[in-house]
Amino acid sequence: MSNTVIQQAGEISLTEKAAREIKTIMKENDIPETHGLRLGVKGGGCSGFTYSLGFDKELRDNDAVFEIHGVRLVIDHKSLFYLAGTELDFSDGLNGRGFVFNNPNAARTCGCGDSLGV
């Protein structure tokens, strides 16, 4: 997989609410539309892995690129293995504001929702 752009693929999904929040963050912080939101998984956290989010202007070899609701999501090949089927949502409820990973691959998660185990 070499920098493949996928429209509304089954590998990852993004709610409209999350897309609106990402666009708001980009606008408020003068982040160019050419940047993508990089989603990732790295070792650490209470449950073994932790999610990572950040804006990135560079694509790397073997990145998968998803254009969903006008937002470019970028995921490296290794992280895509753990994130396949995940929905990224945004919550602004009583428990606080933040992005929520609804990951069907997570066999266990911690109370904060920022880490997972498979």
DSSP result, 21-83? HHHHHHHHTT--TT-EEEEEEEE-STTSEEEEEEEES---TTEEEEEETTEEEEEEHHHHHHH
Separation between Cα atoms, residue 16 and residue 22, nearest integer Å = 10
Q: Whole-prediction pTM value?
A: 0.78
Domain range for residue 44?
4-117
Q: How high is the pLDDT of residue 97?
A: 86
Residue range 24-83, pLDDT digits in tens: 999 999 999 999 999 998 886 565 788 899 999 999 988 999 999 999 999 999 999 889
Q: How many domains does the chain have?
A: 1
β partners of residue 76: 63
Q: How high is the pLDDT of residue 10?
A: 56
Q: How high is the pLDDT of residue 46?
A: 61
Count Cβ atoms below 10 Å from residue 18 Cβ, excluding itself: 22
CATH number of residue 67's parent domain = 2.60.300.12
